[in-house]
Amino acid sequence: MIKLEPRGQHSKLMAWLSPILAGVLTLISGAILFALLGQDPIEALHTLLILPVADLYGISELFVKAAPILLCAIGLSVVFKAKVWNIGAEGQLLMGGLIGSACALQLIDAEGFWVLPIVLLSGMLGGALWAALAAWLKTHFNANEILTTIMLNYIALNLLIWAVHGPLKDPEGFNFPESAMFSDSALLPTLVEGTRVHYGMLFALLALVAIWVLLSRSFLGFQIKVLGLDARAARLAGFREKRLTWIALLISGALAGLAGVGEVTGPLGQLVPQISPGYGYAAIIVAFLGRLQPFGILLAGLLMALIYMGGEMAQINLGLPIALTGLFQGMLLFYLLACDVLINFRIRIPALAKPVADTIAIQEEAAR
Amino acid sequence: MDIDLLSNILYAMVRTGTPLLLVALGELVCEKSGVLNLGQEGMLLMGAVVGFVAALLSGSLMLGFLLAILAGVAMSLLFGLIALGFSANQVATGLALTIFGTGLSAFIGSEFVGKPIDGLDPIALPLLSEIPLIGKMLFAQDPVVYLSFALFIAVYWFFRSSRPGLVVKAVGENPHAANAIGLPVMRTRYLAVMFGGAMAGLAGGYLSIAYTPLWVENMSAGRGWIALALVVFASWKVERVLLGAWLFGLASILHLVFQGLGFSISSNLLAILPYAATILVLVLLSRNQIRARLLAPISLGKPFHASS
């Protein structure tokens, strides 16, 4: 039998090894899965993880996909540090896209440098507003934020679908559930000529640095971390729990909103029903996988973007269902949680440990 | 509104509320034992896809339901292994179960989307189903709805008058005391989690084999989460779970009611209703912090280690 034995303290090494171990286990499981499906495991993994980024265009697309995931995940790292379980990045992203689009469509005839900032800000506001609802429900009514944010996700999705079928539908769009194309002044410029990499990636990197400063170098960040580690200690120290909850949720909502408005003004250029293939949920995995640390999140976010692209590649090249992406994401998170056990516990196999203990006893005996 | 329409609305209310009732009953037992399993949505989807594929390929609805239940149990064991066996954070593990279940079910079901099967037929009980207004609602349903009535009574009796029910409650309130007097804490929790999985699996099977009947990716549309809120709404009391599930059933079919009354509101906006209602009941029930804490099982969500 295998036994788990408390380590007595967190293992820093395991905390960083665990995501890597989880990745390896996911790869092994993936290879087994591919073999069971009658695919060559090596070729399939190659298609999934190498082929999408085998050329420069692929690498640029990786950044396009990573931008919204990273923005959501960085925001989540703040709320999760405060142990506020915001599962609503998806809804906040959708609201950012929706409000940003509504704004861009209002300004469709406007020209000038000021159009884009207003559109982006309105998107951030949309996301922050959606998170503010959850903050209000939590601080004022004590409603569980996991359930409220998930419900708000479904509400946001239905609002978005309603909007593209109704008020925001392109009047000249042959009744397709899509908005009109935004004007050029409302579009995010690309960072690199000839690719689709847009300013969203730059925003993500800036947010990464800003959140790092907030969490590691500011008193506010310190308060947020204390609240998450020990809410009673935070209260005793006079930190205002509700205010911190509000701030953390607003930051996370605004960043998710930016991710959403970045999608509609960036690669999409219009509002469509499918802004996000679950970026907000994937960001939860990214935040955990990246250990809520900026650099970890960057790596995990790129990996997650790669899995999205790999899923598409596997669909085209191998005829596998696109749902492969979700399956790999789920496996990754599960293995991570299982491996995280090793942070606080070590594995003991009593059958093996006994002889060692006996030997020590004998040695001690002999020493006497 | 004439009585026929009302009778039909009540009938649809119970039908729509059934998956919620099943999942919420399962989660209630699970939470009573002190385990918070947020993976209901994932188990529901796995039950739905496995049940549907099995029923489609074998032609046997019975086998479909059986495998749906087994799929739910298998998923719950995965949760149990990590959350109970490894004492991992139950919130994170439940979320992972949902994300995993969503992905895996979409993967399994990708070739079966939109394929039709002959769903489960209702069985109208003679005479009883003729009762005006409630006859159709209670006695002209399909077998799984009748089963949900039976399961409701069983769970009610379980907590009210049975010794194992007491054990579950003891383990959920104070696992250390329960352990000290020799009650099997871990075994009880595993069994409670498995019961929750079986119920969610059955509910999933009901969705894809009887209610719709077809498989669509993500077809549970948040029902697993709504059921979790229902348990809070019910203040962990069995009889209120039934009431809540049917009320939510009603909220989900309000578009029928509105059509019956002659209103025209966008169906996309009406689709928001059950989710908004969920938030509303959470607000109403959690507003009083002390009361909310008194009602929940005291050790809910806390891992248990016999040694500590």
**Domain total of chain A:** 1
Provide the pLDDT for residue A367.
Answer: 62
The Cα–Cα gap between B233 and A147 comes to 12
CB A203 within 8 A of CB A66: no
Q: Which residues on B lie below 8 Å from A141 (Cβ)? A: 282-283, 286-287
Domain count, chain B: 1
d(CA B277, CA B20): 14
Work out the percent of chain B whose per-residue pLDDT is above 90.
Answer: 43
pLDDT at B308: 45
Give residue B193's domain range: 17-122+141-295
Query: Residue A165: is it exposed, middle or buried by C-beta count within 10 angstroms (0-12/13-18/19+)?
Result: middle
In a domain, A136, yes or no: yes
When pLDDT is averaged across residues B217-221 and rounded to a whole number, the result is 88
**Residue A203 sits in which domain range?**
65-297
Q: Do B88 and A87 touch (CB under 8 A)?
A: no
Which residues in chain A are contacts of B278 at CB distance < 8 A? 147, 151
B64 inside domain: yes
Report pLDDT for A163. Answer: 94
pLDDT of residue B88: 83
User: What are residue B250's phi and psi, to 5 degrees?
Assistant: -60, -45
Residue B283 has its nearest CB partner, among A141, A155, A345, at A141
Burial class (CB in 10 A: 0-12, 13-18, 19+), B118: exposed
Q: What CATH number has the domain bearing residue B289?
A: 1.10.3470
pLDDT at A361: 59
Taking CB atoms and an 8 Å limit, are B286 and A142 in contact across chains? yes
B221 → chain A, closest CA residue: A154
Q: Give yes or no for a contact between B240 and B234, defined as CB atoms under 8 angstroms apart.
A: yes
Taking a contact as any Cβ pair under 8 Å apart, which residues of chain A between 78 and 107 contact chain B?
A: 85, 87
Per the domain annotation, does B153 fall within a domain? yes
How many other CB atoms sit within 10 Å of the CB of residue B102? 26
Phi, psi of B80 (to 5 degrees): -60, -45
At B236-290, the pLDDT tens digits run 889 889 999 998 898 888 877 777 777 777 778 888 888 998 899 888 877 777 7
What string of H, E and C letters represents the secondary structure of chain A? CCEEEECCCCCHHHHHHHHHHHHHHHHHHHHHHHHHCCCCHHHHHHHHHCHHHCCHHHHHHHHHHHHHHHHHHHHHHHHHHCCCCCCCHHHHHHHHHHHHHHHHHHCCCCCCCCHHHHHHHHHHHHHHHHHHHHHHHHHHHCCCHHHHHHHHHHHHHHHHHHHHHCCCCCCCCCCCCCCCCCCHHHCCCECCCCCCCEHHHHHHHHHHHHHHHHHHHCHHHHHHHHHHHCHHHHHHCCCCHHHHHHHHHHHHHHHHHHHHHHHHHHHHCCCCCCCCCCHHHHHHHHHHHCCCCHHHHHHHHHHHHHHHHHHHHHHHHHCCCCCHHHHHHHHHHHHHHHHHHHHHEEEECHHHHHHHHHHHHHHHHHHC
**B80: closest chain A residue by CA:** A338
Is B136 inside a domain boundary?
no
Nearest to A266 by CA among A200, A207, A184, A179: A200
Whether the pLDDT of residue B201 is over 50: the answer is: yes
**Residues 6+ away with beta carbon under 8 Å from B224:** B23, B39, B40, B41, B42, B43, B44, B45, B98, B200
In a domain, A32, yes or no: no
Distance CA A262, CA A206 (A): 14
Inside any domain, residue A53: no
As a whole number, mean pLDDT of residues B164-178 equals 89
Cβ contact, residue pair A150, B287, below 8 Å: no
Residue B4 lies in a domain: no
Whether residue B222 lies within 8 A of chain A, CB to CB, comes out as: yes
**Cβ pair A150, A87 in contact under 8 A:** yes
Q: Are A261 and A123 in contact (CB under 8 A)?
A: yes
Name the residue among A111, B270, B88, B121 with its Cα closest to residue B261: B270
In tens, the pLDDT along B25-84 reads 999 999 999 999 999 999 999 999 999 999 999 888 999 999 999 999 999 999 999 888
| Alpha-carbon gap, residue A366 to A101, rounded angstroms | 81
Our measurement of the distance from residue B162's CA atom to the centroid of its chain's CA atoms, rounded to an integer in Å, reads 22
CB < 8 Å & 24+ apart, contacts of B160-165: B160/B238
Q: B129 CB near a chain A CB, below 8 Å?
A: no
Q: Which residues in B lie closer than 8 A to residue A87 (C-beta atoms)?
A: 95
CB contact under 8 A, A337 and B272: no
Determine whether the interchain pair A333/B99 forms a contact, defined as Cβ–Cβ distance below 8 Å.
yes
Q: What angle do CA A179, A181, A185 make, to 5 degrees?
A: 130
pLDDT at A356: 55
Interface check for B264 against chain A (CB to CB < 8 A): the answer is no
- The list of chain A residues with pLDDT below 50 reads none
Check CB contact of B235 with chain A, cutoff 8 Å.
no
Would the CB atoms of A327 and B106 count as touching at under 8 Å?
A: yes
Which residues in chain B (5-44) have CB-CB distances under 8 A to chain A? 38
Interchain contact, A158 vs B271, CB within 8 Å: yes
